Amino acid sequence: MIAGSGEFPLLALEEASRRGWSCAVAGLRGEAAETLEAKAFRFAWVEVGRPDEALQFFRVNGVKDILLAGKIDPRAYFRRENLDREAGDWLRLAADGTASGLIHAFLRYLSSQGFEVLDPGPFLAPFFCGAGVLAGDSPTAAVLQDAEFGWHIARRLADLDVGQTVIIKDQAVVAVEAAEGTDAAIRRAGELAGRGTVAVKVSRTRQDLRVDVPAIGLNTVRSLALAGAAAMCLEAGRVAFFQKEQALELAGRSGIIIFARE
Domains and CATH numbers, the chain: 2-123 (3.40.50.20), 128-261 (3.40.140.80)
Measuring CA to CA, which residue among 153, 180, 129 is closest to residue 167?
153
CB 3 within 8 A of CB 34: no
Rounded average pLDDT over 138-158: 97
Rounded average pLDDT over 56-78: 85
CA 224, distance to chain mean position in Å, is 17
CB 239 within 8 A of CB 201: yes
- What gap in Å lies between CA 15 and CA 237, rounded to an integer? 19
Res 17: pLDDT: 87
**pLDDT above 70 for 85:** no
Q: Tell me which of 161 and 194 has the higher pLDDT.
A: 194
| Backbone torsions φ then ψ of 125, nearest 5 degrees | -50, -40
What is the value of pTM for the model shown? 0.84
| Backbone torsions φ then ψ of 239, nearest 5 degrees | -115, 120
**pLDDT above 90 for 6:** no
Rounded average pLDDT over 116-141: 92
| Beta-carbon contacts of residue 4 (< 8 Å; ≥ 6 apart) | 28, 31, 32, 68, 69, 70, 71, 72
Helix (H, G, I), strand (E, B) or coil at 163: coil
> Model confidence over 48-59: pLDDT tens digits?
878 888 999 999
Which residue blocks in 170-227 are alpha helix, DSSP H? 182-193, 218-227
**pLDDT above 90 for 77:** no
Q: What is the DSSP letter of 143?
A: H
Q: What is the DSSP letter of 119?
A: P
Greatest mean pLDDT among 27-31, 74-78, 152-156, 211-215: 152-156
Give residue 112's identity as a one-letter amino acid code.
Answer: S
| Beta-carbon contacts of residue 136 (< 8 Å; ≥ 6 apart) | 231, 251, 252, 255, 256, 257, 258
- What gap in Å lies between CA 42 and CA 2, rounded to an integer? 12
CB 86 within 8 A of CB 52: yes
- What gap in Å lies between CA 146 and CA 17, rounded to an integer? 42
